[in-house]
Amino acid sequence: MTTIYFLRHGPTEENKVERIQGQTPGTLIVPDTERYLAAITPLLRDKSPQLLISSDLDRAVRTRQMLKEFLQIPNLKEAVMPLLREKAMGFYEGMLWTEVPPDFREQRNRQDYDFRRFGGENEEDVQQRVHEALRQISQQYPNSRIACVTHAGWLRQIVRLADEEGILSDGWTNRTAIYETGLGPIGQLQYFHPINIEAKIAIEEEE
């Protein structure tokens, strides 16, 4: 069984000013990210991950690189997986939420969001990416221990998947939690539960 510890990237300047990120790179706030990683490092170090994977968006890549420095685990490998990206939100990525039309803004924080008509993704598109990412990770890295740096929108979908399969020990908690799961040989969830971390920072809503 492959064991994965999913976590969100660190806070960004865009989150702070409520700028729409989606699949833009994002600008990591380094001091806040360092406090966040310092809080989760002892737990992850005890789990002895063999591999760190992140989405290919810069805010996730930089968080992964910083996490590797914090962990100080010999021979810890790294990889990138675009399937772990945040949901695409289309034409208005990079703008402030206050600058976009009401019909776009009303999709914010909806569980059944649909950004397709704005050039982005809907909920089902991200669900498909989650399923495919789990399948690929389980087949490429069998019987491994992995830490994955991804995004809040992606994490919400895997939480929903675990809930639908009846193996969620707790619901969506907060954006500083780590989500531990075990994967079967074709990416099926074996168990899933969040681990709350006292990161002592405010991580704003991802989007």
Nearest to 50, CA basis, from 69, 78, 82: 78
What's this model's pTM, rounded to 2 decimal places? 0.92
Q: What does the block give as tokens for 131?
A: 């399923």
| Residue 198 pLDDT | 67
- The whole-angstrom separation of Cα 153 and Cα 32 is 20
Residues 5/179, Cβ–Cβ less than 8 Å:
yes
Cβ burial, residue 200 (10 Å; 0-12/13-18/19+) = exposed
Instruction: Map out the domains of the chain as residue ranges.
Output: 2-195
Residue owning tokens 């949901």: 87
Greatest alpha-carbon span in the chain: 50
| Residue 22 pLDDT | 96
| Residue 168 pLDDT | 73
What H or E segment, with its residue span, contains residue 6?
Answer: strand 2-8
| Residue 195 pLDDT | 86
Provide the H-helix boundaries in the chain. 13-17, 30-47, 58-71, 102-105, 123-140, 152-164
- In CATH terms, the fold of domain 2-195 is Rossmann fold (3.40.50)
pLDDT along the chain (207 residues), means of 10: 96 94 96 93 94 98 98 96 97 96 92 94 96 97 97 92 82 72 94 78 54
Q: Give just the sign of the alpha carbon dihedral 39, 43, 44, 46.
A: positive
| Residue 165 pLDDT | 87
